Amino acid sequence: MTTALYTHDDCLGHVTPPGHPEQVARYEAVVAALAGFEGLDRREAPFGTDAHVLRCHPEAYLERVKAAVPGKGWVALDADTHLSPGSLTAAWRAVGACFAAVDAVMAGEVSNAFVGCRPPGHHAERQTAMGFCIFGNVAIAAKHALEVHGMERVAIVDFDVHHGNGTQDLLWDEARTLFISSHQMPLYPGSGAVHETGAHDNVINVPLAPMTGGREMRRVYEAEILPALDDYDPQFVLISAGFDAHEADPLANLNWSTADFEWVTRAICEVADARAGGRVVSTLEGGYDLQALGDSVAAHVRVLMERGG
């Protein structure tokens, strides 16, 4: 089997204001970085549906987002999160790609998958768009694996430099999931302390001090995160793949290298191979230096292909 790549040019239609870091060029950098990868199973992201979003968000929130989409220009949902005329279509593609990727892996069509869509999702809370995120893409994927495919233990590992407060909020009371987040602290959004453990001890937060480099990151993953993931015995592993812990990223202060993203991807996949039959779906979150983003995505997907080959 192989690795599926889900993209759609509708992601170009989510246009943010000039100077915004979550820009169209991010999607272009991801697509360009993977252009020469032979053997990738390239698939168009389908549309998500109301039913998918409603697994995690209330109807009132969904309707509020729909009503806010402008005919031209931008509407700010919060100080950082904007809608343009094409934003909702792009968000539907990101949601649709996540559930389609879960379906493809569960059906045995592919070994694993990477969702290279935008906008990202891990900051979107139940009733609040924030941090460039509209819908909780990875949490929706987890709910899909649970409710459609009958999974009983779904793990999410989030190595974005920012805490995945939205995923934590959406799955706080979901006993069938384990959410593990490594992130810089202090940093936006201010959540992610060790004492935030979920309603069922189903959340593990591992804050990292500013300037933490790859050697220390690897030590923390080997001592805390990977054993916790292994002990959970997941049936399916989801990755919130943010690449903004890279030393070149302008929005944070961790010092990971491209090789560190390769290492952490391989380490997570090794646990998934041992515990979850290799079932992994990774979805794009942050990463705002375009060269570092492209290089890191390439390294990440190369490992997925290596594990899935």
Residues with active-site annotation: 123
Tell me the angle at which helices 137-147 and 87-106 cross, rounded to the nearest 10 degrees. Answer: 40
Name the pairing type of β-strands 280-284 and 236-241. parallel
Contact 166, 79 (CB under 8 A): no
The string of DSSP codes covering 202-271 is: -EEEEEE-TT-BHHHHHHHIIIIIHHHHHHH--SEEEEEE--TTBTT-TT---BB-HHHHHHHHHHHHHH
Contact 216, 259 (CB under 8 A): no
Residues 6+ apart with CB under 8 A from 244: 160, 161, 162, 251, 252, 285, 286, 287, 288
Contact 146, 176 (CB under 8 A): yes
The owner of tokens 């109301």 is 50
User: How many whole angstroms separate alpha carbon 288 and alpha carbon 262?
Assistant: 18
Q: Is 75 exposed, middle or buried (0-12, 13-18, 19+ CB in 10 A)?
A: middle
User: How many whole angstroms separate alpha carbon 86 and alpha carbon 90?
Assistant: 6
